[in-house]
Amino acid sequence: MFAYGVMPPLMFVGMIIFMLYGFPVAFSLAAVGLAFGVLGVLTGHFEQVFLQALPFRVFGIVSNDLLLAIPFFTFMGAILERCGLAEDLLEGTGKLFGAVPGGLAYAVIVVGAILGAITGTVAASVITMGVISLPIMLKYGYSPRLATGVIAASGTITQVIPPSLVLIVLADQLGRSVGDMYLGAIGPSILQVTIFLLFILALSIFRPKDVPALPPEARGEMNMALVMRVLWGMIPSIVLIFLVLGTIFMGLATPTEAGALGVVGAMGIAALHGRLTWDLTRQGMHTTMQITSMVVFILVGATCFSLVFQGMNGGLWIEHLLSHVPGGAIGFLIFVNIFIFFLAFFLDFFEIAFIVIPMLVPVANALGIDLIWFGVLICINMQTSFMHPPFGFALFYLRSIAPRSVKTKDIYLGAIPWLCMQLILVAIVIFWPESVTYWLDKTPAVDLDSIKIEIPGFGSGDGNQMPNLGLPPLDGAPTQPGGLPGQGLPGMPNLGEPPQINP
3-state secondary structure 214-229: CCHHHHCCCCHHHHHH
- Enumerate helices (H) and strands (E) in the chain, giving the number of each: 23, 0
Q: Is the pLDDT of residue 483 over 70?
A: no
Percent of the chain whose pLDDT exceeds 70: 82
Q: 69-82 and 278-311 helices cross at what angle (nearest 10)?
A: 140
CA distance 244 to 260: 9
Single-letter code of the amino acid located at 356 = V
| 324-353 confidence digits (pLDDT tens) | 777 778 888 888 888 888 877 767 777 788
Query: Across all residues in the chain, what is the average pLDDT?
Result: 78
Q: In this structure, are residues 178 and 259 in contact, taking their beta carbons and an 8 Å threshold?
A: no
Torsion on CA atoms 336, 337, 341, 342, rounded to nearest 10: -30
What does the DSSP 8-state code read for residue 213? P
* For residue 416, pLDDT beyond 50: yes
pLDDT at residue 442, as a whole number? 57
CA distance 121 to 159: 8
- Per-residue pLDDT, 456: 55
DSSP class of residue 464 equals: S
DSSP string, 77-143: HHHHHHTTHHHHHHHHHHHHHTTSTTHHHHHHHHHHHHHHHHT--HHHHHHHHHHHHHHHHHHTT--
Q: What is the pLDDT of residues 180-203, one digit of tens each?
A: 888 898 899 999 999 999 999 998
> Over the stretch 240-287, which tens digit does the pLDDT of each residue have?
878 888 888 888 888 888 888 888 888 888 888 777 888 888 988 988
The answer to whether residues 178 and 66 touch, using CB atoms and an 8 Å cutoff, is: yes
Cβ atoms of 335 and 321 within 8 Å: the answer is no
Let me know: does 287 contact 78? Beta carbons within 8 Å: yes
300, amino acid identity: V
What pLDDT does residue 428 have?
A: 92
**Which of 255, 235, 237 lies closest to 245, judged by CA?**
255
> What's the confidence (pLDDT) of residue 499?
52
pLDDT band at 71 (very low <50, low <70, confident <90, very high): confident
Domain boundaries, the chain: 66-276+312-437
Report the pLDDT value the prediction gives residue 502, as an integer from 0 to 100: 52
Q: State residue 161 phi and psi, 5-degree precision.
A: -75, 125
The H or E element that residue 286 is part of is helix 278-311
Instruction: Kindly report, residue by residue over 357-396, the tens digit of the pLDDT.
Output: 888 888 888 888 889 999 999 888 888 877 877 777 788 7
pLDDT single digits (tens) 127-185: 777 877 788 888 888 888 888 889 888 888 888 888 778 888 888 888 888 888 888 98
Q: What b/e sequence results for 121-146 when a residue is b if at least 16 CB atoms lie within 10 Å of its CB, and e otherwise?
A: bbbbbbbbbbebbbebbbebebbbbb
- Going by C-alpha positions, the residue among 227, 232, 215 that lies closest to residue 88 is 232
User: Radius of gyration of the chain from Cα atoms?
Assistant: 30
Percent of the chain past pLDDT 90, that is, above it, reads: 5
Q: What pLDDT shows up at residue 486? A: 44
Contact in structure between 356 and 343 (CB atoms under 8 Å):
yes
| 448 pLDDT higher than 60 | no
For residue 198, the model assigns a pLDDT of 94
pTM for the whole structure: 0.73
pLDDT at 134: 83
pLDDT value of position 202? 92
Residues 484 and 390: their CA atoms lie apart, in Å, by: 84
**pLDDT attached to residue 485:** 46
Please state the rounded mean pLDDT for residues 210-237.
73
pLDDT(487) > 50: no
pLDDT digits (tens, 9 = 90+) for 420-446: 999 899 999 988 988 888 877 655 555
Cα 228 to Cα 240: distance, rounded to the nearest angstrom: 18
Q: What is the pLDDT of residue 447?
A: 53
Strand ranges, E, within 261-382: none
